[in-house]
Chain A
Amino acid sequence: MRFSGLVENEILKFTRQRRFRVVVLILVALIGLIVFAQSRSRERFAKKDWHVETQERMARIQNWLRDGRMPASSQRWARFELDRLRYHLDRDIDPEAVSGPLFARGFANAASYLLLPLLAIVFASDVVSAEFAQGTIKLLLTRPVGRARVLASKAAALALAITLTVVFGGLVAYVFGGIAYGYGGWGAPVLAGFRVAGERLDPAAVRVIPLWQDAILAYGLAWFASLCVGAIALLTSVLLRSTAAAMGTMLAALIAGTILPRLASSWESQRFLFVTALPLPDYYSGSPPPIPGLTLGLGAAVLAAWALAALVAAFAVFVRRDVLA
């Protein structure tokens, strides 16, 4: 009774249920739709020759720099913009165009709010409750394996499923984005490491990194956020013993998380709710935080704390509670 065997069992259950195929289908259909809609709306704004336009812009920026009247912080930005335009021109890529890699990177931001946590919830909600619903919990917990080990194997398989979902989502976004916008452009420079100092962006922390690094960071954050949501959904699955109830609860929480910052952004305590901390890639990309005082570090810490507490509670309840139903 090796632990890997138990995890293998849970993976078998994941993959043999319809749920898994549904998630794959949702990702493919949704991303396909987004790419299609986006490329359609872009066609309407087809411009004149972008080579000329880009060269004109580069010339303008060089003039400003030569002027010397530009403040230091803006000079940094100007040099970055110049590098960026030159990178694209050298590779014969329209700098304003979306590339496959850029689309994939953008997907991480968009999906970290709702889609990826949602899929994590779809997996996590029935990890324990399904065993109750099918009655198989009675066999699972009467084998010579401790209950903590059983739940740990489920948590491990869940983490794996969520990881695969994030990776698969990124791959599908890249493949579909590539069909529409081309596959090249992973090396394009992007600005990263924005930090908000008071009311303004702190330019000192900004660094230039290649797009592929930026994408890995963004997906890493989305992955981390999804894992944390998965842990919390696992707790609801343990507590409620009903997949529908667990999924409903988590969905309500997610939706509340998207509404709250808009309706009551001044209520500062909401930054300690896990749902408002979900769009981690946003905080890191430098958009102004939806709630004052919510930074990448705090958001990650809030999520981690919630996830950890949920796991501890899930194990405590699962190990102790009588199985009667």
Chain B
Amino acid sequence: MAAALPDAEIVLSAEHLTKRFGRREAVSDVSFDVRAGEVFGFLGPNGAGKTTTIRMLVGLARPDRGAVRIRGLDLARDFRRAMVHVGCIVEAPDLYRYLTGRENLVHFSRMLDDGATGRIPELARLVALSERLDDRVSTYSLGMRQRLGIAQALLGNPDILILDEPANGLDPAGIREIRELVRHLAEDRGIAVFVSSHLLSEVEQTCDRVAIIHRGRTLATGPVRELVDRVASDRIRVVARPARAAAGILAGFGEAETSAGEDEGSIDARVPRERLPDALRALAAGGVDVFAVERRLASLEEVFLDVTGGETV
């Protein structure tokens, strides 16, 4: 994954976004920046406020407090000039089903500058829809509609692409296609991509940086690796014989799973980094043969459990 350049230009920034529905605060003080050329993940369980935040990012809903800036333009004041830089899919790739793919693209290109219509063939190739472009959208699969939605979003040569749950309802092959397309757009074209998802593995595989939202608040923001490391620094896997004795010794330095047998086996354990040398010496002294010690990378799931205090997605 290309590391997002920390000094790359900020294309989209959310500043203290807050949205109330009646008494309930659906989104509270959400802030983040998305930079050119990075894939930014917006992760949270359903109902966490992801879609409400996205609706504010694209001007469908007005924040009660806070502002959205796109290339420095205040969305509330400069809607048209700001939206020139944005392509988006909100919630589902809803297009006109009774029109063909091409008609849909022509329709939306008429809402852009004059050159947009000319980009249709190239975009159809990019999303692999050239063959089916003159079929009605009602005959498309969900994956094809998702790709047509992305082509639509790219019509205006946007600087930022906002995709709401792009993997929703897709089969594994479809998910991979979207992921590759998103990586290509960010890495090769320098587009900032904002992706919301409730799928941890998806965000982990696609995104450079991530913000975790839960109950309307951002709990953590940072590079995916950094967030993972923050939780994962004490997670190790030891391959040793006899495994049960090894697990018993390791448990004395932290936690270790205890269900290992008398033979050689691998034990997942949590031992703080500074105590690891002592733990290894203790293993040797205890007559345990150690074959491997490796750091175990935490999944984003564990990160999420960690920051939300145990609530699953």
A residues with a Cβ closer than 8 A to B are 1, 5-6, 8-9, 12-13, 16-17, 134-136, 138-146, 322-324
* Cβ contacts under 8 Å, B80 to chain A: 144-146
* Cβ contacts under 8 Å, B131 to chain A: none
Bound: A148/B176 CA distance, A: 39
Bound: A13/B88 CA distance, A: 22
Tell whether A9 pairs with B107 under 8 Å between CB atoms, given A134-B94, A135-B92.
yes
List, sorted by A's number, 10 A–B pairs whose CB atoms are closer than 8 Å.
A5-B110, A13-B96, A134-B97, A140-B111, A142-B90, A143-B111, A144-B79, A144-B83, A144-B112, A323-B60
Residues of B46-67 contacting chain A, CB below 8 A: 52, 55, 58-62
Tell whether A134 pairs with B96 under 8 Å between CB atoms, given A1-B113, A5-B110.
yes
What is the CB-to-nearest-CB distance from B211 to chain A, in angstroms, rounded to a whole number? 21
B91: Cβ under 8 A from any A Cβ: yes
* Cβ contacts under 8 Å, B98 to chain A: 16-17
B275: Cβ under 8 A from any A Cβ: no
What is the CB-to-nearest-CB distance from A100 to chain B, in angstroms, rounded to a whole number? 37
B81: Cβ under 8 A from any A Cβ: yes
* Cβ contacts under 8 Å, A17 to chain B: 98
What is the CB-to-nearest-CB distance from A316 to chain B, in angstroms, rounded to a whole number? 15
Bound: A115/B113 CA distance, A: 41
* Cβ contacts under 8 Å, A8 to chain B: 110
On whether the beta carbons of A138 and B90 are closer than 8 Å, the reply is yes
Tell whether A9 pairs with B94 under 8 Å between CB atoms, given A145-B80, A322-B60, A323-B55.
no
Residues of B83-137 contacting chain A, CB below 8 A: 83-84, 86, 88, 90-92, 94-99, 103, 107-108, 110-113
* Cβ contacts under 8 Å, A140 to chain B: 111
* Cβ contacts under 8 Å, B83 to chain A: 142-144
* Cβ contacts under 8 Å, A135 to chain B: 91-92, 94
What is the total number of residues of chain B having a CB less than 8 Å from a CB of chain A?
A: 33
The residue on B at minimum CB distance from A17 is B98
On whether the beta carbons of B94 and A1 are closer than 8 Å, the reply is no
What is the CB-to-nearest-CB distance from B168 to chain A, in angstroms, rounded to a whole number? 13
What is the CB-to-nearest-CB distance from B273 to chain A, in angstroms, rounded to a whole number? 47
Interface centre among B52, B55, B82, B152 (most CB of A within 10 A): B55
On whether the beta carbons of B94 and A12 are closer than 8 Å, the reply is no
On whether the beta carbons of A139 and B61 are closer than 8 Å, the reply is no
On whether the beta carbons of B107 and A142 are closer than 8 Å, the reply is no
Bound: A134/B98 CA distance, A: 11
Bound: A285/B86 CA distance, A: 57
B41: Cβ under 8 A from any A Cβ: no
Tell whether A136 pairs with B62 under 8 Å between CB atoms, given A8-B110, A12-B107.
no
* Cβ contacts under 8 Å, B92 to chain A: 135
On whether the beta carbons of B60 and A138 are closer than 8 Å, the reply is yes
The residue on B at minimum CB distance from A150 is B111
Bound: A17/B103 CA distance, A: 13
Bound: A9/B113 CA distance, A: 15
On whether the beta carbons of B111 and A6 are closer than 8 Å, the reply is yes
What is the CB-to-nearest-CB distance from B36 to chain A, in angstroms, rounded to a whole number? 19
What is the CB-to-nearest-CB distance from B76 to chain A, in angstroms, rounded to a whole number? 12
B166: Cβ under 8 A from any A Cβ: no
On whether the beta carbons of A142 and B110 are closer than 8 Å, the reply is no
On whether the beta carbons of A5 and B60 are closer than 8 Å, the reply is no
B156: Cβ under 8 A from any A Cβ: yes
* Cβ contacts under 8 Å, B103 to chain A: 12, 16
What is the CB-to-nearest-CB distance from B90 to chain A, in angstroms, rounded to a whole number? 4
Tell whether A139 pairs with B55 under 8 Å between CB atoms, given A1-B112, A9-B107, A322-B60.
no
